[in-house]
Amino acid sequence: MPQVTQNVLESHLTINNLELNAASLLAAETKLSKQQIKQAMNKGAVWLTRGKQTQRLRRAKRTLKLGDELHLYYNPQVLAHSVDAAELIFDGGQYSIWYKPYGMLCQGSKWGDHTTINRYAEIHLAPDRPAFIIHRLDRAATGLVLIGHSKKTTAALAKLFELRQLDKYYQVIVEGQFNSGNLESVTIATDVDNKAARSHARLLAFDEEKKRSLVQVKIESGRKHQIRIHMASIGYPVVGDRLHGVAKEGELNLQLTSCYLKFTCPITDEIKEFELPERLKPKLIAC
């Protein structure tokens, strides 16, 4: 029987007859309409288990087999959520570079994946192709994201991140006058989650009126929330950081953006360099 909690519904059923398709079976089981089921499928909330493999099921008319298992994770709030559109920066065929807006995810959940950057790429690229996450940005962060379109290329690009053979920098807007006008880089080596982490931060500009600084940050390691933790640890929390800073009521979104990527293409061996357009970078004047 379906499990229902405050309009959130979870249902699991085993296929024991082949007379109905997946949408019809789930509609009969849950009392949701077939249209609601199809919308949930399209947004990644329906899964199919066949043998030892479980994957999202998006086509209502996909051929089923006896013994298959259907799983529905229906959360109206999750399914109704929407985000701004991502922007394609570069399409290299086997990989692409995107601008990820605020709120877009780099990883879906069992409840859906329609607000993830890889699903957005799958839907909007032409010709269409699978899309695989190589690295992640926080939900609240913005900027350049590298997406793979074949497992081989994805693995090769992921290796560049693992071996730190890819140059990248971020720009953040922080509270206070960072480094008192000194343009030299500051190294921050505070552990993150009890693991070694190093960041190098350099002042780009300072807003005297609002007492905020635009700072460029390069990281040697890739710990979760590393930049946010490091900037807060030395007294310059990132503007809009509700977790590690002191976000004010009505504050702007997190002012942390991935602005630059440089790496050797694993397909052509060419040096590839990408910088976010100025219009998409953090702006002191807007804060």
Q: Tell me the backbone φ, ψ of residue 39, rounded to 5 degrees.
A: -65, -40
CB contact burial 204-214 (16+ within 10 A = b; e otherwise): bebeeeeebbb
Tokens (6 digits) for 275: 């910088």
pLDDT reading at 285 higher than 90:
no
Q: How confident is the model at residue 249 (pLDDT cuts 50, 70, 90)?
A: low
- Alpha carbon distance 166, 37 (integer Å): 42
The CA–CA distances, whole Å, from 225 to 57, 135, 207, 214, 242 equal: 32, 13, 25, 18, 12
> What are the pLDDT digits (tens) for 26-52?
999 999 999 999 999 999 999 999 999
pLDDT reading at 3 higher than 80:
no
Residue length of the chain: 287
Q: Are 226 and 192 in contact (CB under 8 A)?
A: yes
- Average pLDDT for 262-281: 96
Name the least confident of 70-79, 165-174, 191-200, 270-279.
191-200
What beta strand segments (E) does 67-219 contain?
69-74, 87-91, 95-100, 132-133, 142-148, 167-175, 186-188, 199-207, 212-219
CB contact burial 76-105 (16+ within 10 A = b; e otherwise): eebbeeebeebeebeebebbbbbbbbbebb
For residue 247, the model assigns a pLDDT of: 65
Global confidence as pTM: 0.90
Three-state DSSP state, 41? helix
- Averaged confidence pLDDT in the chain: 92
End-to-end Cα separation, the chain, in angstroms: 51
- Average pLDDT for 98-123: 97
Q: How confident is the model at residue 221 (pLDDT cuts 50, 70, 90)?
A: confident
For residue 23, the model assigns a pLDDT of: 95
Of 206, 253, 258, 197, the closest CA to residue 230 belongs to: 197
- Average pLDDT for 49-62: 95
Of 241, 215, 247, the closest CA to residue 229 belongs to: 241
Q: How confident is the model at residue 201 (pLDDT cuts 50, 70, 90)?
A: very high
Beta partners for residue 133, in sequence order: 147
Tokens (6 digits) for 73: 């994770």
- Alpha carbon distance 30, 179 (integer Å): 59
Q: How confident is the model at residue 1 (pLDDT cuts 50, 70, 90)?
A: low
Three-state DSSP state, 200? strand
